[in-house]
Amino acid sequence: MTLTGTGQTILQEISLGLNKLKAAQVDRLLVEIKTAKRIFCIGAGRSRIMLGAFCMRLNHLGIEAYVAGNIPCPPALKGDLIIAASGSGTTPSVISVLRRVKETGVRIAVVTASSVRDLAEIADLVVDIEAPNGLINKDNQESPQLMRTLFEQILFILEEALIAVLSENIPVEEIVTRHTNLE
């Protein structure tokens, strides 16, 4: 397959995955974000990278947001929302942290591609992303993408769509004032 053909296949997989998102889950996540005092994002590996980009954009919108484990990161408290992303749904470090902070009264939203519900059991809200793990998708079609790449791509596009909706009534000039001037 050519590079362009591979790219088209990847775009097609992302589009199919986005179309399978459950509107009610995404709408509920949007409400949770709008009503939270602060947002904390937690994940491992590439999921954490996608969440870091999301936190940056939330801050650009004037929403106080942190990536768990970064410096600075204040404690999560009642009224805050934690958004966890784990394609496998079983990331031990994420589960451990969420179990510990759950008793503080924080709300927890989990974005996952897994039917394994280790993280979902802790969550107040689950957003399911249909994204197969590996080189064969669930329809037994070959995929050019490795491991949880499709999950991470759909997670990123979902986050960007959430930011687009959240920013609808914020003037661009205001958003630009929150962009770093240290680069």
Q: How far apart are CA 34 and CA 37, in angstroms?
A: 8
Domains of the chain: 3-177 (3.40.50.10490)
User: Which pLDDT belongs to residue 134?
Assistant: 59
Q: Which amino acid is at 20?
A: K
Active-site residues, by number, are 152
Question: Residue 142's pLDDT is what?
Answer: 61
pTM of the model: 0.89
Q: What is the pLDDT of residue 74?
A: 86
Q: Summarize the chain as % helix, strand, coil (round to 5).
A: 45, 15, 40
pLDDT < 70 stretches in the chain: 115-116, 133-147
Phi, psi dihedrals of residue 110, rounded to the nearest 5°: -120, 130
- Any bridge partners for residue 109, and if so which? 83, 125
Q: Are 178 and 163 in contact (CB under 8 A)?
A: no
